[in-house]
Structures are given as structure tokens and as C-alpha cells.
Amino acid sequence: MIHDNVELHNVAELRYESRRGGYRLQRAPESVRTALNPGAQECLLQPDNAEIRYVASGPSRVTLSSHGQTRVSVFFGPFDSFQRAVVGHDPQTIQIAPSEALDALADRYTAGMPFSPRVVRLVLGGPERDPVLLHGVEGSDLRPPAADELPSLRLLTYGTSITHGYFAEGPHLTYVGHAARRLGADLINLGVAGSAHCEPELADYIADRTDWHAASLGLSVNMQGFPMPEFRRRVQYLVDRVAGADAGRPVACITLYPYFRDFGWEPPGEYGGTPEEYRESLRDAVAATGHPNAHLVEGPELLTDISGLSADLIHPADYGMLEIGRRLADLLSGLLAR
């Protein structure tokens, strides 16, 4: 999306909030967002892996505010500047100076990189991830990035808090962030923490998008309270609809990663089946679609070292995110090469 000479990446719609005088960024259109369960509705207002991107000929300024607190990480193309800000309720202007070192070396050493280092990228989300509002961007010769300054490959991801980015220090450090970087791909993150319920409205939205080349679907530990027939119905529709939209786009359908119920801990709650029963149901659903681009991926084969989990034994920590991202990228690379 282009808005006021900047690109808003992983932003599907802007909603102007007149009381606050800014545009709220959201990762799904309002018509889709409001059709989902309440948790997903809230999560899609959180800006994880949403980005404000532009090219400027000198210093620039971006003014943002948040409904609570939102972390902003500044990159120059693929290079992390380590400039961080946490914006709050009051509009805050982030001052960004170009990197003299990158300007001096960019043409000589960065040719062929997926991102040009001349692209300023404000990557939103992380430990602080409340809805964010854009108030304005200023800079000399401000323009959106050109196509040859951005990755030509785009990876769309859907899943639970593990995809959304909880427990990661930044959105670029989730497993989907690692996978996208390893693939040289632009990341479209539709993760929804605690609320990946595979609604048909979201399946239709993902399938009808034409801006992605490969997808990963984490299906879905958030549905462990669903009866098995309902789980099967929802995941089968999602897989069939997304994979069936374009046979040239590989779709990786990921079974539950190892988590505490696999290890014998059953906290109080409603469970519609065992972890293995949910995995088997997804296997059956993928096989039943008959689409050659629908690929079953076993979560325990992406996360093979359970010490990569955090202490809650469900969310991957740093090492787990790295392992999943590497293995998923290698798998998708092979599927794309076909």
C-alpha cells in the first residue's frame, strides 16, 4: 500500500482516527477482521511485521503514536541500525539519519541483496505491540521504494502466537522472520496469537490475495479445544481454498509443534483430542484436497530439539525460532525450485 509517498508493508487497510489525528495500521481489511473471533480481531490490529518504507536523500522523520506501546526498529534495507524506539499515546517523532558507511559502500557490496540498503524500513512490533497510528513522514525527495529495491519473492504466513511473534525480541527474530530472510523474501505475517481458528473468511481472504508466492499455515494449537470434526472441517476448507487458488504457489501446512501435552503435562482445560489426533486430522485434510501444491509439514520435524522451547514448553525461544526458520526456509526453497 502506498500512502503519502511511503510504502506501508503488511498493512491491508488504514483507518483514520480523527480524535487522535492519525491513521491506524491494520494487517487485514476491516471487513475480514470483524468476521473473525474477538481475539483475532484484536491481534490483526497489532502491527507485527508491518513496516513503513521509503527512500529519502537525507535525514527523515516519522511521527507515530500507539494505543498503548509499540516498538519500532529501524533498518536500512537488510541492515539493522540498532535504533529502537517505543512509541506511546502521544505522537512521537523518530529522527532517522542515513548511514554514511552504507552510502559509501552500497553500490560496491550490496548488489543482489533482496533489499537495497537505501530503503529505510521502520519495522513495527516485538515485546511492545499495541495498535499504532501513523501521523506523518517527512524527508527530502521522499518516495516509495522501487520494485528493484525490494524482494521479488513474498512469503505469507498464518498461525498462532508462535507465528505472530510472541516471545521473540523483535518481529524479524521470529521463525517466519528467519525463514523470510533465509529465502530472500518479503514477509506477510498474518499470525494471530491465541486465536488462529481457521475461519473461512480468513481462508477466502488469503486465497484471493495475489501478492504472495508461497505460504506457511500453522494449524493450530489454538484449536485444541475444538471437537475433532470441527477442526477437520475448518482446516480442510482453509487448505483446500488456499492451495486451490493457484497451483503454482506452494502451501506448507504445519502440524502442531511439540508442546507440553506431548510431554505428559495436561493443565486444566477442554481438549477435543490428543495432540497426535490433531496432527493426524491435518494429515488427512491435506491428503483429501488432492492439490499438488498442498504440502504436509510435520511440526516436530521443524523443531527437533525441545530445549529450543521456552520454559512454558509451548513457545519457541531464540534457539527454537532459529531452528524452525532454517528448516522451513530450506523446505520452501526446495518447493519453490520445482
| CATH number, domain containing residue 261 | 3.40.50.1110
Cα separation, 302 vs 300, in Å, equals 5
Per-residue pLDDT at 326:
98
Those residues with Cβ within 8 angstroms of residue 111's Cβ, 6 or more apart along the chain or in another chain: none
Residue at which a domain ends, from 116, 149, 182: 149
Last residue of a domain, one of 134, 149, 164: 149
For residue 9, give the CATH number of its domain. 2.60.120.260
Does residue 126 sit in the same domain as residue 258? no
For the CA atoms of 165, 170, 172, 173, what is the dihedral angle to 10 degrees?
-80
Single-letter code of the amino acid located at 150: L
How high is the pLDDT of residue 149?
95
198 and 76 in one domain? no
Using the 3D structure, point to which of 129, 149, 169 is the last residue of a domain.
149
Please spell the DSSP secondary structure of 57-72, one letter per residue: SS-EEEEEEESS-EEE
What does the alpha-carbon distance between residue 145 and residue 118 come to, in Å, rounded to a whole number?
9
- 95 forms beta bridges with 61
The Cα-based distances of 110 to 147, 180, 293 in angstroms read 16, 18, 33
Looking at the fold, whether 163 and 63 belong to one and the same domain comes out as no
Q: What is the pLDDT of residue 270?
A: 85
Regarding whether 214 and 105 lie in a shared domain, the answer is: no
The count of structural domains within the chain is 2
Residues 136 and 249 in one domain: no
Same domain, yes or no: 58 and 163: no
Residues 183 and 78 in one domain: no
pLDDT of residue 167: 84
Verify that 255 and 124 share a domain, yes or no: no
- How does pLDDT run along the chain (338 residues), one tens digit per residue? 999 999 999 999 999 999 999 999 999 999 999 999 999 999 999 999 999 999 999 999 999 999 999 999 999 999 999 999 999 999 999 999 999 888 887 777 788 899 999 999 999 999 999 999 999 999 999 999 999 999 999 999 999 999 998 888 899 999 999 999 999 999 999 999 999 999 999 999 999 999 999 999 999 999 999 999 999 999 999 999 999 999 999 999 999 999 999 999 999 888 999 999 999 999 999 999 999 999 999 999 999 999 999 999 999 999 999 999 999 999 999 999 98
189, 265: one domain? yes
Residues 6+ apart with CB under 8 A from 139: 54, 56, 57, 58, 59, 60, 61
Quote the domain boundaries for residue 166.
Answer: 153-337
| Same domain, yes or no: 191 and 242 | yes
- pTM to 2 decimal places: 0.96
The predicted structure's pLDDT at residue 103: 83
Tell whether 119 and 161 lie within a shared domain.
Answer: no
Q: Note whether 29 and 134 are same-domain residues.
A: yes
